[in-house]
Copies of this chain bind each other. A is one copy, B any other.
Amino acid sequence: MLIGNRSWLFENRPVITSTGVVGGPFEKKGKLTADFHSFSDDLWFGEDSYEKAQKKFLEEACHEALNQGNLQKEDIQFIFAGDLLNQITSTSFACRSLSIPYFGLFGACSTSMEALALAAFVVNGKGANNVITGSASHNAAVEKTFRYPTEYGSQKPPTSQWTVTAAGVGVVSSSGTGPVVTSATVGKVIDEGLKDPYNMGGAMAPAAVDTIKAHFEDRSLPEDYYDLILTGDLGKIGHAVALELFQNENMQIDQNSFQDAGLMIYNDEQPVQSGASGAGCSAAVTYGHIYNRLKQGELNKVLIVATGALLSPLTFQQQESIPCIAHAVSIERQGGFVQ
């Protein structure tokens, strides 16, 4: 149901009944290892290209989510997923092997919540009993697509972020137990004219703030409603910019309840510059760490705000600025308030 200008309320309470989160070797050394279901110690995941490895991360995450939920592939009506690669081939090829009717999405690193918003809307509206939704990224495949092959060993400035090698997916169901997807706010493309592809966080922060502001307005909620507002992925710089923009907008967002997935996944010693990013980052943190905190009652009400930089190497070469978008989805414990 539409509320306000661009938000949906999910009155039939679609539930995230299970999740699957699979990470790479670098993620295994990170801070959230207990929240992954499994890791590949091999960046290639036994495949002969990084792109095929990314595909396998997504496939494995889907299989894990099915296992966790005691579901068969045949129980799933649709999959809503996407990634950062050209023509989102890793996702499409994973859906070839999964053989589940498929909606391909592209929202760069906002894909995880674009997909969850649509998945929840479809389940809420009785368009499916169970759907899989999620996203994946692979450090070497994404670096090769957007910048340079990692084998070149090129250096990146401190404002840059480290693409996560991981896949995170959730099963959204019309019934069952688990955290409830209660609402979503759809992002507009926001472009403040920044052109530096090594500072995506700074470019994306205004989109995150725009969507968060719209969310509170559309839902008529107090700004301290959520235990946690989690962006993904602004990194250090974008996070600081967002906090400043909240002040400019006179929004009372508590610093302690405003965190970023890109600042949570790795240990401080890991050399990830301004933080983590990649379509798999917010997906892995949401369906791993946040999902577990919700299930255990450590969190009750969270708003996940996935942010995407909608550029390509070509638009950068054509000297365009970076259009950005953020999609927000609220997830609450079974007992959570639904307006």
Shortest CB distance A137–B (Å): 13
> How far is it, in angstroms, between the C-alpha of A96 and the C-alpha of B322 when the chains are bound?
10
Shortest CB distance A301–B (Å): 22
Would B127 and A310 count as touching, CB distance under 8 A?
no
Would B6 and A78 count as touching, CB distance under 8 A?
yes
Contacts of A129 in B (CB 8 A): 2
Binds B, one of A24-32, A38-46, A81-89: A81-89
Binds B, one of A60-68, A114-122, A237-245, A284-292: A114-122
Question: A residues 118-151 with Cβ under 8 Å of B?
Answer: 118, 121-122, 124-129
> How far is it, in angstroms, between the C-alpha of A104 and the C-alpha of B107 when the chains are bound?
6
Would B189 and A96 count as touching, CB distance under 8 A?
yes
A contact residues, total (Cβ < 8 Å):
57
Interface centre among A49, A77, A87 (most CB of B within 10 A): A87
Would B188 and A99 count as touching, CB distance under 8 A?
yes
Would A312 and B87 count as touching, CB distance under 8 A?
yes
Contacting A89 at CB < 8 Å: which of B8, B78, B121, B314?
B314
Chain B residue at minimum C-beta to C-beta distance from A313? B86
- Chain B proximity mask over A69-99: 1 for CB below 8 Å, otherwise 0: 0000000011000101111110011011001
Query: Does A172 reach chain B (CB closer than 8 Å)?
Result: no
Would A102 and B188 count as touching, CB distance under 8 A?
yes
Contacts of A93 in B (CB 8 A): 189, 310, 315, 320, 323
Contacts of A310 in B (CB 8 A): 87, 89, 92-93, 104
Question: A residues 296-319 with Cβ under 8 Å of B?
Answer: 310-315, 318
Chain B residue at minimum C-beta to C-beta distance from A211? B101
> Given A78-B186, A186-B103, A312 and B89 touching (CB < 8 A)?
yes
Chain B residue at minimum C-beta to C-beta distance from A184? B127
Would A51 and B318 count as touching, CB distance under 8 A?
yes
Contacts of A77 in B (CB 8 A): 2, 5-6
Would A102 and B187 count as touching, CB distance under 8 A?
yes
Q: Which A residues are within 8 Å of any B CB, using their own CB?
A: 1-2, 5-6, 8, 48-49, 51-52, 77-78, 82, 84-89, 92-93, 95-96, 99-108, 114, 118, 121-122, 124-129, 186-189, 191, 310-315, 318, 320, 323, 325
> What are 6 inter-chain pairs, A to B, with CB distance below 8 A?
A85-B314, A86-B312, A89-B310, A102-B189, A103-B107, A118-B118
Extra A-B contacts (11), CB below 8 Å, given A1-B125, A88-B106, A92-B310: A6-B77, A84-B87, A86-B86, A89-B312, A89-B314, A95-B189, A96-B323, A99-B189, A101-B188, A103-B118, A103-B186
